Amino acid sequence: MFADRLADVIETRARRPEMVAETAARRPRAPSFLGPAGTLVLIAADHPARGTLRAGRLMTAMADRTSLLERLCVALARPGVDGVLGSADVLEDLLLLGALDGKVVLGSMNRGGLADTVFEIDDRFTGYDAAAVARMGFDGGKMLLRIDAEDPATAATLQACAHAVSDLAGRRLFAMIEPFISHRVDGRIRNDLSPEAMMRAIAVASGLGTTSAYTWLKVPVVPDMERVMAASTLPALLLGGEVTDDPESAYAGWRKALRLPNVKGLVAGRSLLYPADDDVAAAVDTAVSLLLAGRGPVRGQPDAETGDGQLQQHLAGCHQGLDLGRAQLFQLGQDGGVGVRTLAARVAQRDRVGPHLLPRLAQEALGAEPVERPQQPVQHGARAGERSQRIVLRGDPGGEHGVDGLVVGFPAA
């Protein structure tokens, strides 16, 4: 159970704090910053460090750390999700849970401008610095830049962001800047989301530092995005924004903006972690599908073959395994028949399993008897040589308890 694994993390923090650095040192890193299709999907989890705990109508949703971490684990395990950005406490929890293996990781740098404070624009670097990002083996740092023409503290924030961009680039680490033109309304900071304001914010952010070679932008979806994104040649990720009761409108905005050449992906937090229907996996899958339609394979999907021609599913995330003893591999022959081959005992990851099914998984070892009478025929899905196709077997016609994590391969020629 997730609660038991989180209890282990708590004990590790209390008894062996050095394990954070040791685990970071041996963590497998992502092979590249961009995925195979040239895209990037990140989950944002740095809101609590700035005192922002609200998600949608729930004022303290992100204050429940167990819930937050479990949602993050679900999101990070979905195919097409490349990584996460967060504050040190959240990233270290995920690190100890094993959820960051093979993932792109960005450390949040300036969280000092706490929400709804008089010093909010004075956004000091109270989180990661470039040296710490490098020491942890992460890929870069993220910073929030709000420009308020009437607040003198803007100058110090601009300078601090410029130094951070330079320090990160000097180590060949990426800088993710989230820029806004801001002003106070009735004492509270509000971001100006007009096209003209965003173009100005992007122009300023793009020029920070001694080089922009490693600078990326994190921008909201606003009207006239084609004109807005023409303000810079820097690569950008779309900001997920607030949780809404109408996610379809948000998806429509993402879909249109993702067609722009320098928009390379998404970075979303609350909108995916706390969707209106509370189905994190479905929200993440929908967002990834908008980005990756027609762009090829993604991290976390089977896009390579093992030596015997079997498709190998990459299983990521922090779900526990279940010892299946001697399992069976279904093979589809050229004549459409179903063959069975016994596999050696191994641990199967509980990845891509619907939340309603997990408690129902059998706890005893499966037998080695072949499947003789499938209830539904298996259609001929590929001819010889068509090894790039995947076949998914489903049981429940309603889909409520469907498992789509089966590995299906073709016999070697």
d(CA 147, CA 169): 23
pLDDT averaged over every residue in the chain: 79
The pLDDT score that the predictor gives to residue 249 is 74
Q: How many residues belong to the chain?
A: 413
Identify whether the C-beta of residue 218 lies closer than 8 Å to the C-beta of residue 176.
yes
The pLDDT score that the predictor gives to residue 244 is 65
344 shares its domain with 382: yes
Domain boundary among 246, 263, 292: 292
104 shares its domain with 56: yes
Task: State yes or no: pLDDT of 11 exceeds 80.
Answer: yes
Other CB atoms within 10 Å distance of the CB of residue 343: 15
35 shares its domain with 80: yes
Report yes or no on 401 lying in a domain. Answer: yes
120-166 tens-digit pLDDT: 999 999 999 999 999 999 999 999 999 999 999 999 999 999 999 99
d(CA 41, CA 300): 12
d(CA 410, CA 383): 10
Report yes or no on 299 lying in a domain. Answer: no
What are the residues whose beta carbons fall under 8 Å from the beta carbon of 319, sequence distance 6 or more?
73, 77, 349, 350, 351, 353
3-state secondary structure the chain: CHHHHHHHHHHHHHHCCCHHHHHHHHCCCCCCCCCCCCCEEEEEECCHHHCCCCECCECCHHHCHHHHHHHHHHHHCCCCCCEEEECHHHHHHHHHHCCCCCCEEEEECCCCCCCCCCCCCCCCCCCCCHHHHHHCCCCEEEEEEEECCCCCHHHHHHHHHHHHHHHHHHCCCEEEEEEEEEEEECCEEEEECCHHHHHHHHHHHHCCCCCCCCEEEEECCCCCHHHHHCCCCCCEEEECCCCCCCHHHHHHHHHHHCCCCCEEEEEECHHHHCCCCCCHHHHHHHHHHHHHCCCCCCCCCCCCECCCCCECCCCCCCCCEEECECCEEEEECCCCCEEEEECCCCEEECCCECCCCHHHCCCCCECCCCCCCCCCCCCCCCCCCCCCCCCCCCCCCCCCCCECCCCCECCCC
The pLDDT score that the predictor gives to residue 186 is 93
Q: For the domain that residue 110 is a member of, what is the CATH number? A: 3.20.20.70
138-142, 275-279, 352-356: which range is least confident on average?
352-356
Tokens of 135: 């020491």
Report yes or no on 318 lying in a domain. Answer: yes
The boundaries of the domain holding residue 277 are: 2-292
260 shares its domain with 354: no
97-101, 242-246, 368-372: which range is least confident on average?
368-372
What integer is the mean pLDDT of 191-214?
A: 98
26-84 tens-digit pLDDT: 999 999 999 888 999 999 999 999 999 999 888 999 999 999 999 999 999 999 999 99
Q: Which of 35, 142, 136, 40 is nearest to 94 (CA)?
A: 136
Report yes or no on 301 lying in a domain. Answer: no
Task: State yes or no: pLDDT of 285 exceeds 70.
Answer: yes
46 shares its domain with 74: yes
d(CA 185, CA 165): 30
The pLDDT score that the predictor gives to residue 412 is 41
Distances in whole angstroms, Cα of residue 245 to Cα of each of 56, 62, 249, 299: 8, 18, 9, 30
What integer is the mean pLDDT of 335-339?
A: 40
59 shares its domain with 8: yes
Domain boundary among 265, 292, 319: 292
238 shares its domain with 328: no
d(CA 83, CA 99): 9
Report yes or no on 38 lying in a domain. Answer: yes
Name, of 32-41, 108-117, 302-311, the range with top average pLDDT.
108-117
288 shares its domain with 331: no
The pLDDT score that the predictor gives to residue 295 is 59
d(CA 335, CA 78): 33
238 shares its domain with 101: yes
Q: Which of 263, 181, 175, 180 is nearest to 212 (CA)?
A: 175
Task: State yes or no: pLDDT of 202 exceeds 60.
Answer: yes
Strands 321-323 and 83-86: unpaired
236-260 tens-digit pLDDT: 999 986 666 677 777 788 888 999 9
Tokens of 269: 């937090």
Task: State yes or no: pLDDT of 386 exceeds 90.
Answer: no
Domain boundary among 292, 326, 352: 292
Report yes or no on 297 lying in a domain. Answer: no
Number of domains in the chain: 2
300 band by pLDDT with thresholds 50, 70 and 90: low
Task: State yes or no: pLDDT of 302 exceeds 60.
Answer: no
Report yes or no on 300 lying in a domain. Answer: no
The pLDDT score that the predictor gives to residue 179 is 98
189 shares its domain with 220: yes
% of the chain beyond a pLDDT of 70:
69
261 shares its domain with 319: no
% of the chain beyond a pLDDT of 90:
63
90 shares its domain with 213: yes
R_g of the chain computed on alpha carbons? 23
Report yes or no on 243 lying in a domain. Answer: yes
